[in-house]
């Protein structure tokens, strides 16, 4: 029983690192400048810094999770945000204005 338990812990531990490099962008945060606010803040066009291991610096649109949306953003604002991958798209899940 004890052996079985420790085995399953070991398996869990081994699986975790690979998973987190690919799919834990929950903790992947970066900064950027808003270029355009679309759909009342549901979509932001952002010129963002490099996101190490995810993508280089670029300007791209991001969907914003309903919980992270803000009404007070405008083009030119500097933001810090965190992204998570959902169905192949990067979605902003945390957002603050700098
Ligand atoms: Cu990008």
Kindly give the distance from the C-alpha atom of residue 58 to the centroid of ligand 1, in angstroms, as a whole number: 5
| pLDDT in the model for residue 53 | 85
- Residue 3 predicted with pLDDT over 70: no
Residue spans per domain, the chain: 24-97
16, 12, 29, 34: which is closest to 80 by C-alpha?
29
43, 50, 60: which is closest to 29 by C-alpha?
50
The domain made up of 24-97 is a member of CATH 2.40.50.320:
yes
Nearby residues of 18 by Cβ (< 8 Å), 6 or more positions away: none
Q: What does the DSSP 8-state code read for residue 96?
A: E
pLDDT tens track for 62-85:
999 999 999 999 999 999 999 998
Confidence band for 44, pLDDT divided at 50, 70 and 90 = very high
Kindly give the distance from the C-alpha atom of residue 55 to the centroid of ligand 1, in angstroms, as a whole number: 6
Kindly give the distance from the C-alpha atom of residue 88 to the centroid of ligand 1, in angstroms, as a whole number: 13
pTM listed for this prediction? 0.72
């Amino acid at each position: 029983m004890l052996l079985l338990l420790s085995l399953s812990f070991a398996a869990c531990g081994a699986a975790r690192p690979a998973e987190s490099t690919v799919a834990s962008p929950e903790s992947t945060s970066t900064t950027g400048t808003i270029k355009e606010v679309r759909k009342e803040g549901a979509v932001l066009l952002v010129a963002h810094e490099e996101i190490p291991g995810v993508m280089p610096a670029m300007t791209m649109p991001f969907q914003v999770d309903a919980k992270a949306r803000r009404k007070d953003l405008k083009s030119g604002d500097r933001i810090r945000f965190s992204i998570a991958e959902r169905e192949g798209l990067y979605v902003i899940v945390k957002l603050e204005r700098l």
